[in-house]
Amino acid sequence: MAGATGQHGDVAAARARIGDLVETLNDHAWRYYVLDAPTIDDATYDTLLAELEQLEAAHPELVRADSPTRRVGDRPASGFASVPHALPMLSLQNARGADELVAWHERLVRHLAGQRGVDPAALEPALEWVTEPKLDGLAVQLAYEHGNLVRAVTRGDGQVGEDVTHSVRTIRNVPLRLRGSAPALLEVRGEIFLPRSGFAQLNEQRIERGEDVFMNPRNAAAGTIRQLDPAVAAERPLRFFAYGFGRIEGADAPATQDGVLDWLGELGLATSSEVAVHASIGEVAERCAWWEQHRESIDVDIDGAVVKVRDLVLQSELGSVGRAPRWAVAYKFAPMTRTTRLEAIEVKVGRTGAITPYAVLEPVEVAGVTVRHANLHNAQDIARKDIRVGDTVIVQRAGEVIPQVIGPVRDARQGSEQPWQAPQACPACDTPVEPDREDTVVLRCPNAACPARLLRLVEHFAGRLAMDIDGLGERIVAQLVGEGLVTSIPDLYRLTAAELERLEGFQERSAANLVASIDASRTRPLGRLLFGLGIRHVGDRIAQDLATAFGSLEALAAASREEVEAVEGIGPVIAESVAAWFAADPPPVAWRELHELGVNTVALPEELSAPGGGPLDGEVVVITGTLEGMSRSEAKAAAEA
């Protein structure tokens, strides 16, 4: 008897402890995944979780449905069950640009005035609006009964969706149990998406495993949710944001859209933190335009902003037309990805001889910019993604970076597409290419005298962070090299105005100007010259450090690899590269000739006295956003100075 009582006591104690642990762990998960403000460290969380797992293993009958160990459950027995929506899940009307937004607003006001039998002008000041980012993922409805997550269903065709509860339970910011006083029934609507960072990480993984990459975060999220194996979904960093509701029983919905979002937040659901309330459609239009400019400021792909009437009573008064409500509209941004035909793959030879492929595209407008060329990374990447010449490809533009080819649309193939062969020889000098010694994915032209390499080197030498030669841009460099006037860097300092005047496009004045700006570069600091020489791995910063440490080109040339490596911040790879550059016979740039031609090869006084002691000394400067009249690297240089 005593033993039986003891066992009872054990079970009661285990039940209580399990209850405590589930509550505590779920609370921490909410702080971590929803509030983004954890209050304990990962190790402590893991210790508590391990304790819960042990107790559950000893008492399987006590495992709770809302236990954090129950996120990954069994796969559904028979695929996806169809589930009808009690209230249809509507879609949104679209507005592209401010004009269509204003037109939507006018229709809405006219409709409302007509319904109420009043003058439209009388309505206008009373209307308020809410804007939210339009997340580019997939819509689902979560059903909570007495606070417990019982079902998750995709939007489907709006009337009937698919039961994806097994996948949705694995999403860390979807509460398995609501916080506080939950109604008897709450249907929460929102979007499941993959943050951009998680998307990049996922694709890296897939490339490593030799699997197909996902074209965009939306496809990745949709593909993951429709996985039958919940373990697969659990591995991927999906997130959920709530933006509305379906049925509610046992509670009253708040009176406004922003009130709804606040309420959902109190119940433990994640909502967007970028919601705004507006008093006029003009303000709404401004906010939408702002969003289009700042869409990349958040780690989520958004394809527009959703504009909603703020007042929920007014929303139901307005009702819907067809499958879309009158009270909301999607202000759509120009897409950042488009498809177009890959006409050819060409290669470019870089300053160090690296041969990189790029895409020649049928011109296509991507978010307001006409794209003709795009990055293709390297030959291995092209093969892995099976990109063929003639393919319809997906092109993406993001921020200031060069557009990228994401991958082919295989379904669009006609059969005439051709796999690409990496060149065997350099397109500029016909020298057989070699795989790079350090990075074998890269092909390299080993010919130090390759004309394409010379072009890139002269461009680099004349660049703003190097010798900063005004008027010596890409076009002029190509002309000088093409006419045979410049066959090496020192040749620049031998150019005469008379020679230049004979070239097409040059006049007396422009020829004299170019000679003068080349002449002015003779007195540049040593750090700039060193950077301009184009030694592999020697960026502008390292070049400056070397100039300060050695004081002259002569001294650096005489230094051993060990002496170079002894400089603070310089590792073995850079040291080896510098030593090899100076040891080459002849050196890639005849620097002694430069000295003879009057180019400064010693450190200037300001390069030797260690900088410091200024007001910004030791501070970290962060440069973000767009700068007017300054490139990012110029801003960096200015901050460092």
- Residues identified as active-site: 134
27: phi then psi, degrees, rounded to nearest 5 = -65, -45
Six token digits for residue 363: 């011109």
- Should residue 191 be labelled a site residue for ligand IVH when binding is judged by CB under 6 A? yes
- Should residue 92 be labelled a site residue for ligand IVH when binding is judged by CB under 6 A? yes
Q: At what angle do helices 196-208 and 217-225 cross, to 10 degrees?
A: 70
- Should residue 500 be labelled a site residue for ligand IVH when binding is judged by CB under 6 A? no
Q: Which is nearer to ligand IVH, 85 or 456 (CB)?
A: 85
Q: Is the peptide bond before 605 cis (omega within 30 degrees of 0)?
A: no
- Should residue 456 be labelled a site residue for ligand IVH when binding is judged by CB under 6 A? no
Q: Which is nearer to ligand IVH, 305 or 433 (CB)?
A: 305
- Should residue 132 be labelled a site residue for ligand IVH when binding is judged by CB under 6 A? yes
Which residues within the stretch 316-335 sit at the binding site for ligand IVH (CB under 6 A)? 325, 328, 330
Dihedral angle over CA of 68, 74, 79, 84, nearest 10:
-40
Q: Which is nearer to ligand IVH, 177 or 189 (CB)?
A: 189
**Given 24, 91, 404, 510, the residue binding ligand IVH (CB under 6 A):** 91
Q: Which stretch binds ligand IVH (CB under 6 A): 87-95, 171-179, 334-342, 531-539?
A: 87-95
Q: Which is nearer to ligand IVH, 168 or 342 (CB)?
A: 168
Place of tokens 């079902």: 151
74: phi then psi, degrees, rounded to nearest 5 = -85, 155
Mask 139-158, x = binds ligand IVH (CB under 6 A)? x---------------x---
Closest contact distance (angstroms) between CB of 157 and ligand IVH is: 11
Chain residue whose CB lies nearest ligand IVH: 139
**Given 90, 123, 248, 251, the residue binding ligand IVH (CB under 6 A):** 90
Closest contact distance (angstroms) between CB of 327 and ligand IVH is: 8
Q: Which is nearer to ligand IVH, 306 or 345 (CB)?
A: 306
DSSP designation for 616: T
Six token digits for residue 486: 């410049």
Place of tokens 């390297």: 378
Is the distance from CB of 243 to CB of 306 less than 8 angstroms? Answer: yes
- Should residue 182 be labelled a site residue for ligand IVH when binding is judged by CB under 6 A? no
Is the distance from CB of 178 to CB of 144 less than 8 angstroms? Answer: yes
- Should residue 295 be labelled a site residue for ligand IVH when binding is judged by CB under 6 A? no
Q: Cα–Cα distance between 441 and 435 in angstroms, integer?
A: 7
Q: At what angle do helices 2-29 and 42-58 cross, to 10 degrees?
A: 150
DSSP designation for 61: G
Q: Which is nearer to ligand IVH, 91 or 513 (CB)?
A: 91
Q: Cα–Cα distance between 38 and 305 in angstroms, integer?
A: 29
- Should residue 168 be labelled a site residue for ligand IVH when binding is judged by CB under 6 A? no
Which residues within the stretch 397-436 sit at the binding site for ligand IVH (CB under 6 A)? none
Q: Which is nearer to ligand IVH, 17 or 323 (CB)?
A: 323
Q: Which is nearer to ligand IVH, 53 or 317 (CB)?
A: 317
The one-letter code for the residue type at 510 is S
Six token digits for residue 628: 């007017």
Is the distance from CB of 445 to CB of 417 less than 8 angstroms? Answer: no
Is the distance from CB of 358 to CB of 151 less than 8 angstroms? Answer: no
Closest contact distance (angstroms) between CB of 251 and ligand IVH is: 20
Six token digits for residue 246: 């379906």
Indicate the SS3 state at residue 472. Answer: coil
214: phi then psi, degrees, rounded to nearest 5 = -80, 145
**Given 129, 199, 243, 506, the residue binding ligand IVH (CB under 6 A):** 243
Closest contact distance (angstroms) between CB of 449 and ligand IVH is: 57
Q: Which of 486, 480, 519, 481 is nearest to 503 (CA)?
A: 480
- Should residue 56 be labelled a site residue for ligand IVH when binding is judged by CB under 6 A? no
Closest contact distance (angstroms) between CB of 281 and ligand IVH is: 18
Beta partners for 370? Answer: 365
- Should residue 280 be labelled a site residue for ligand IVH when binding is judged by CB under 6 A? no
**Given 188, 269, 306, 361, the residue binding ligand IVH (CB under 6 A):** 306
**Given 134, 287, 310, 397, the residue binding ligand IVH (CB under 6 A):** 134
Residues that bind ligand IVH (CB under 6 A): 90-92, 132, 134-135, 139, 155, 191, 243-244, 306, 325, 328, 330
